[in-house]
Structure 1
C-alpha cells in the first residue's frame, strides 16, 4: 500500500503525465538577466505549513518588498496532503503557482512531466550560488537540469537520551561499527530490566541499508531506477537484525501500542537512528523531564567512505508556466539566500542550506547541535543519491512493513526478501 503522502504523489503524476510545459528562461550559457525594477509583477507563492510558518513567510515577503517594491507576492498555505492535492489540480490545468515550496519526493515526478522551470540559466546570476555548496545545489538536479534549490538540509544521525542513560547507568554510545551499536543497545536493554530498551531494530529502516550500501560503493537505486543490491545482500542485512530482534530491541507489540508516538519519544528507548531534523519533535513529545538529547554519528560500516549525504528538508521550485521567470527567480533567491530569510525563518524550515542565511539565523541549542553534527560528519558526506525514483515511497513503506513483520516473527527473512523483490519488480517494471 502507498503511504498517504506517496499516493498523492502518484495521483499527481497520473493527472499530469500527458502535460509538457515549456519553461521560459531566456536560454543561453550565461546567467539570465536581473529583474527589471520598473516592471510591475504579481507572483503567487504556495507553501505547506501552519499559522506560525505563514507569519514567518509574511515577514520575509515584507522584507523582500523593501528591496523589490514592484513585485507583489500573494502567498497561500495548506497542510501537506492538501497542498499536494491542490498542486495536482493546478498541474492538470497548467496553472501551478509561480513559486512553490517543494518536497524532495515529488521533484522527479513534476520535473519529468515538464511542470518545473529549468533554473540553470539563473544560477550564478539572479540565484546566488556562492552561499550554496555544490553538494547542496546538486540535490535539486534531475537528468542534468536544476529544477529546485534546497532551503535547508538534514543528515542521518543517531539520537540518544542522556536522561534515560543516566537512569540505567550506561555511558553514551562511543561510536563504532553496527555490531558495536548492537552491543551497546544490549547493554542498555539489560540494564533497563524490561522498562527501558537500547533502541529499535535498525534493519527496519531502508536508510540504514542505504548507508551500508554506500559504504560498499553501491547505492539503493540508480538514476535509471536500477537497484544497487541483490537478494543475497538484502538477506544479509535482515539477518543482521536477528540478534536485535531476539530480545534487544523494544518489542513490536509495545511499539504498536505507543502509536502515533515511537519508543524514543515515549522515553522507552535510549536511541533512534533518523534524520537530524527530527530532534525538535522528539523534545516536544518527551516534555520537560527530558530537556536534552545527544546527536551522534551513525555506526560505521567501512571507515573512510562517503556513506552519508545531505538531504533537503524542503526546496523551492518555479512553475514552468510562470509568466515572470526573472521575478520568480529573484523571489527564490531571497527566500533561500538572504540574511533576512535566515534571521526570520531561523530553523523553521530546517537548518538553512545557504551560508548567508545560516549566519543570520539565531540557532537554539538543538539547532546548534544539528549544525555541529553536520560539520562533524563532513568527511563522511558524499554526493546525494539521484532524486528519488518514481515509486520510491511505495518501496520505502514496504521495507518498513516487512521490518514490522520480522519483529512480530510472522515472516522469515527469506520470505521478506522474496516479497520485497516482488514489490520492487512491480514498482520498477510494472
Structure 2
C-alpha cells in the first residue's frame, strides 16, 4: 500500500513539475555541499564511503553527504523527497524508474554538463539506454546481464555436476535443482525461488518472441506465455526444486546476506550478474555464472541492461559540481580501483582494463562473463515506460496471490498480461 501511495505521490508531483529539489546549503565561503543517494548492501555502502573519501581528497571544495538505503525502501523515500522538493543532487536510478523521473524533466540533461562529465569513451549502445525523450537522464554505471549464479559448494555436497549452460533448459534446471534438494540437508534447496521478480516473465516472453513492453512492431506478451511461466513456477515447488511459497516470499523480502543463496542454502539463484559478488562475499565462497536456461535449448535470448544509472536533479543548486562527482564515479581510475565491478561491469574499456588485475576470483568471473556474453546478447528491451514505476510491485502482488492459491492459474495469467498491457498503454 505504501509503495502504491508513494507512486501516486510522485506521479502527481511530477505532473506539477515540482519534484526536483535544490542541493545542500553552503556555508558562506565554505565548500559546496552535495547530497548523494543510492541503494545497496553493506559491501556497496563500504565501497561508496571509501570512494567518496578519495573524492574529497581530490576535490576539497566539494563535500558529499551520503544517503544510502536498501532497495525495499529506497524508492518510497525518493518519492517522498521528490514530493517535498528535496531530491538529492546525485541520485542512483534504476531501469524501472528512469523514464518515470526523466520523462517529466526532473532529471538534468547530462549532455549539458559535458565540460565536467566526459562520457565519450563509454560504449554508445550502453549510453543510449540512459536517453529519455531525447534527454540523457542517466549515465549508465555499467552492464548487468540477467543470468544464473551458482554455488559450486552446494552442488558438490549434493553430488551433482555443474550443468552445461550452453544447452540447458528450464526443465533441466528444475530436474537438477530437485536432485540437489533430495541430496542435501533439510532446509537446503537446489533453487531458491521463481515467480516473484518481474524480470523473470520478461525473459520467458523474450524466449517466445514476445515482449512485456513491446516497441512498435514487437509482439506483446500473451496469456499463453504467462500460463507457461506459471506452470514452471508450480512444477518447481511440486518437485521440491524450490521451497514452499511461504519460504520463497520470506526469502524475497530479506537482505541478500541473510537470504538462502547468501547463506549457502541454495545452489542456484537468478540475478543480474554483478550482484553475484555480494552473494559470494556473504556466503564466503567462489561462485560461478551461467547463461539463463532456455525454453528451447541454446536460445536464452540474454540482453545487456544498464546495471544502474547516476542522475542529477534538474534543479540542483550545483549541477557542475554534481557532474564532477558523477564523472569521478564513472571515469576516475582511483575510483575504479575501489568500486571494481560491484555496481556493474563498466562500459568504458579503459576502466575494465584498469580494474581487471585487481579483481578477486568472483570479480574476474563477473568481468569475463560480461565480455564473453557480448557475442551473444540481443538488442536490449526498452526501459519500463514512464509513469509506471510500480509495475514490479504490482507484478509481485499478483504472483503472491497466485502462489498462495487465492486465484487460479488462468486468472493470474490474465492479470499479468492485463498489467503489462495497461503499463504499455499508460
Report if TM-score (shorter chain) is over 0.5.
Answer: yes
Tell me which moved more, 323-332 or 369-378.
Answer: 323-332
Contact 2:174–2:241 (CA under 8 A) maintained in structure 1: no
Contact 2:149–2:290 (CA under 8 A) maintained in structure 1: yes
Q: Secondary structure at the match of 2:261?
A: coil
Q: Which residue in the other structure is 1:418 paired with?
A: 414
Write the distance in 1 (CA, Å) between the matches of 2:122 and 2:193.
36
Question: What pairs up with 1:280-429 in 2 under 5 angstroms?
Answer: 280-286=277-283, 288=284, 291-301=285-295, 307-322=301-316, 325-326=319-320, 328-361=322-355, 362-390=358-386, 392-421=388-417, 423=419
Write the distance in 2 (CA, Å) between the matches of 1:404 and 1:174.
32
Write the distance in 1 (CA, Å) between the matches of 2:371 and 2:10.
37
Tell me which moved more, 162-171 or 145-154.
Answer: 145-154
Write the distance in 1 (CA, Å) between the matches of 2:242 and 2:298.
32
Q: Which residue in the other structure is 1:164 paired with?
A: 154
Q: Which residue in the other structure is 2:170 paired with?
A: 178
User: What's the CA shift string for 1:34-64, capped at 9, x where partnerless?
Assistant: xxxxxx9946242236763453243332354
1:73 to 62, 72, 82: 62
- After superposition, the Cα gap between the structure-2 partners of 1:349 and 1:118, relative to the gap in structure 1 and judged at 3 Å, is same
The answer as to 2:124 corresponding to 1:111 is no
Q: Deviation of residue 237 (structure 1)?
A: 2.1
Q: Deviation of residue 221 (structure 1)?
A: 0.9
Q: Which residue in the other structure is 1:240 paired with?
A: 232
How many residue pairs align between the two structures? 401
Contact 2:181–2:241 (CA under 8 A) maintained in structure 1: yes
1:215 to 186, 207, 210: 207
Write the distance in 2 (CA, Å) between the matches of 1:43 and 1:213.
46
Q: Which residue in the other structure is 1:18 paired with?
A: 16
* Pair member with larger Rg: 1
CA RMSD of aligned residues (A): 3.6
Q: Which residue in the other structure is 1:267 paired with?
A: 264
Write the distance in 2 (CA, Å) between the matches of 1:85 and 1:395.
14
Q: Which residue in the other structure is 1:102 paired with?
A: 93
Q: Deviation of residue 227 (structure 1)?
A: 8.3
Task: Name the TM-score, length of structure 1 as normaliser.
Answer: 0.78
- After superposition, the Cα gap between the structure-2 partners of 1:90 and 1:243, relative to the gap in structure 1 and judged at 3 Å, is closer
Q: Deviation of residue 140 (structure 1)?
A: 0.9
Q: Deviation of residue 18 (structure 1)?
A: 0.8
Write the distance in 1 (CA, Å) between the matches of 2:89 and 2:187.
52
Contact 1:266–1:285 (CA under 8 A) maintained in structure 2: yes
Task: Name the TM-score, length of structure 2 as normaliser.
Answer: 0.79
- After superposition, the Cα gap between the structure-2 partners of 1:334 and 1:238, relative to the gap in structure 1 and judged at 3 Å, is same
Q: Which runs of 5+ in 2 are unaligned?
A: 21-29
